[in-house]
Chain A
Amino acid sequence: MIPYNRITLSNGLVVVVNRDRVSKLAAVNLLYKVGARNENPERTGFAHLFEHLMFRGTRRVPNFDLPVQMASGDNNAFTNNDYTDFYITLPKDNLETALWLESDRMQGLGITPEKLETEKRVVIEEFRQRYLNQPYGDQTMLLRDLAYKRHPYRWATIGLTPDHIERTSLSDVEAFYRRYYHPSNAVLSISADLDEERMLTLVDNWFSSLPDRASTPDPVPQEPRQTEARRLEVERDVPATTVSVAYHMCARTEPDFYTADLVSDLLAGGDSGRLYTHLVKERQLLSSVNAYVSGDVDPGLFVFTGQLLPGTATDQVEEAFRAEIEALRRDAATEYEIEKVKNKFEATTLFGELNVMNKAMNLGFYEMLGDLTLINREIDRYRAVTPDDIRSFCDRILRSENSSTLIYRARQ
């Protein structure tokens, strides 16, 4: 249970604070509601490149990291398809340093052509290091591209190609900044052992004078319903073949999400999950296996993926995945299995509340989803899932016509 206080400043900035009772640190999380889903298909990877530029200094503070580090702080950021998240932890007495710096870069960013050129090179190296120079580096990219035809989820946060990053201009950067980086498109969350009223006053001091530049985002093209099974087979220089099967499912905020997440846990939660037990341990078809939900704001994917042991054929694995779905549909889940998944969520929740950074980040995430109260209520959503829901989920979602299969074959 995370107690919190939530207010909205007159410029639209949503602020959420939590009083921790133990930590000597303060965690400050600033989330902007913009991600790869808001990108132009000709300029993919842009939201992430922009995240990097946010560390390139402002007109007033030429070096962002310096004052953070001087205040014994640490900061970083990440971008995903839905949002961009900046976070700082520092000794709680230095909370204001974080607020000062975040308020400053919400409006005063000073990007020069030179800074942009250097950052493009850094991001292109990141593209190479994580996606091109890595065995299986392009696997999820291929799967996205197969499963999505219209929705921008068809590309990864890093983008479709380094060329898109290369072509970014300074005016693209300025337009993006004006459009998405303003108070009413952001959520500021803090967790620290400080009085909540005091935290809110400090936030007010540093943020309330920032003017808003409200704008309505372009609608995100939604994915048409898939009507027939899709497949793609590629060959790469990797030691082991993998099989991935993705099914379209609902958005993160819909009730069906909890059924999907629970199903993924029944199949792949820990070493006692059904897939690991049956396909790795008993039948020894795979060296590793997973089932997961993407958990995106717009309708996402339910994915099966397995890495084959030598001697296993890909159609055996596809058949084995189908058999597991059939078993779920037929026997659904027992009370015992559902209780187990609930225990797991309870443990995950409590382990996640052990430090201030996790709490601040979670507060920002649930506010971004549009329902902050979920942070303390999700366990009830999981508790509400019934065996009938699971059967229905298998029928509606885990169907062949709704599937995209990627065979990522090891070159002989």
Chain B
Amino acid sequence: MTPPRITPSEVDVQQAEKRILRNGVALYWLASEDFEVLRISFVFRAGSSVQTVPFSASAVVNLLSEGSTERSAQQIAEQLDYYGSWYDVNIDRDYAYVNFASLSKFFDRTIEVAEEILLRPAFPEEELRTYAAKRKQRLAIDRTKVDIEAREAFARALFGATHPYGISSDEGLYDSLTRSQVVDFYRRFYTAERCFVVCSGRIGERELQAIGALAEQFPHGSPEIEPPFPTPETVHADFVAHPGAVQSSLRLGRLLFPRQHPDFVGMQVVATALGGYFGSRLMQNLRERNGYTYGVVAAMVNFERAGYFAVATQVGSDVTREALEAIYHEIELLRTEPMPEEELELVKNMMTGEMMRILDGPFGIADVTIENILCGCDNTVIGENVRRIRRMTPHDVWVLARKYLARKDLVTVVAGAERPW
């Protein structure tokens, strides 16, 4: 007595519309009259990998709203909060993202303050010092967690301790970060050449004009010499001692390739089968059968100029070795036995559903659009990827696992009480 089940075979996504502003900035929009809200995202190629001074990239994006030449940090916060607007920023190794969301009826008020934040940040010395003290403390706290210790050590192991994608800096360096370093980073990297804008929700011509008028003011930058991007130097094992930890944090994986590579989507299928959903092989083994962990994940991670495969989990200290062996074992199984058809079907359906969930709502569509733009694609790539996933056979999975997941190529990092090897 089971109900009929329909497998969605197509995921179609609204195409973003686009115009190029006078200074060359691309403005994309996904309009929908069904909502009374909108979101505007400004993306800058200004992530931490382009910085030469530790913490300067994140300081810039986090301090944008902490005072402009016209208004204090308090006045900016007040105007955003008063109209219930949401403002948030985030940063990764490659990009910085500045997002505004507001009720449609308060759009004018929001764009007004957005202009202050993006075009006239003052980076007051006092705000910088408060920020640096807070961040230093937060990072020190984070670094008492095995999870963070393993994550940082894993990046160092994959890329090398001085590589822009691998480096982790001492939190004490927050003390020596100066205002002129922050201002300098902003001037060099928050420029028309390094920026694009994506907005979604209730977007009409009036909103587009206002957003365009703002983005058109980004100045041209001086031709930036790309910072060196050295060849990664991978170390295959690392252990971070954390005396007394009741759990160990494990990271396994290897460098592969960014999203544009023809095998990326295929490796996403492999990673999903291994540890990308609740019923995955690693969850079955580590959590359901053995109770070693509360959770384990495997995924493909994408950077602009690199990509890697990773497995991450936290397990009881006393079962660290057993858990590592179980992970190696599950990876090896992918290489020795073809995946049952039914399991692969499940993984495909899961991945299709996941894409639909990410796309649900106007803000989700904007996030996916941004990600596609960063990879040089438009939103038709979603449908293409879903079709590619659906075409995968057990043989394809086996070929990819054999090609990319040999034990000798894997990097293993453990943070915990006792060295497991």
Contact = CB atoms under 8 A, between A and B. Distances in A.
B231 interface: no
A397 interface: no
A307 to B, nearest CB: 8
B141 A70 contact: no
14 contacts: A63-B279, A65-B279, A67-B2, A90-B353, A117-B291, A125-B247, A125-B291, A128-B247, A270-B81, A287-B138, A339-B82, A350-B35, A351-B37, A356-B360
A191 B390 CA distance: 28
B133 interface: yes
B84 A240 contact: no
Contacts of B78: 272
B134 A269 contact: no
A122 B287 contact: yes
A118 B2 contact: no
Q: Determine the interface band of chain B, counting residues with CB < 8 A from chain A.
A: 35 or more
A65 B83 CA distance: 42
A74 B272 CA distance: 14
Interface string A333-349: 00000011001111110
Interface in A100-149: 100, 117-122, 124-126, 128-130, 132-135
Interface string B1-15: 111111110000000
A239 B140 contact: yes
Contacts of B229: none
A211 B345 CA distance: 36
Interface string B182-217: 000000000000000000000000000000000000
A18 to B, nearest CB: 14
Interface of B: 1-8, 32, 34-37, 65, 73-74, 77-78, 80-86, 101-103, 106, 130, 133-134, 137-138, 140-141, 144-146, 245-247, 277-279, 287-294, 314-316, 345-346, 349-350, 352-354, 356-357, 360-364
A278 B19 CA distance: 44
Most buried by A among B82, B102, B146: B82
A96 B4 contact: yes
A288 B3 CA distance: 51
Contacts of B290: 118, 121
Interface stretch (A21-29, A182-190, A386-394): A21-29
Which 9 pairs across A and B sit closest by C-beta, in order of nearness? A121-B291, A72-B353, A347-B84, A96-B3, A271-B77, A272-B77, A343-B84, A270-B81, A126-B294
Contact of B278 (A65, A124, A348): A65
Contacts of B246: 128, 132-133
Contacts of B8: 72, 91, 93
Query: What is the size category of the interface that chain A forms with chain B?
Result: 35 or more
Nearest to B127: A281
A309 interface: yes
A347 B85 contact: yes
A93 B6 contact: yes
A288 B81 contact: no
A347 B291 contact: no
B2 A100 contact: yes
Nearest to B133: A309
B294 A354 contact: no
Interface in A253-305: 269-273, 277, 280-281, 284, 287-288
A100 B1 CA distance: 9
B362 A354 contact: yes
> Interface centre among A89, A118, A272, by most B CB within 10 Å?
A272
B146 A277 contact: no
Contacts of B141: 135, 238-240
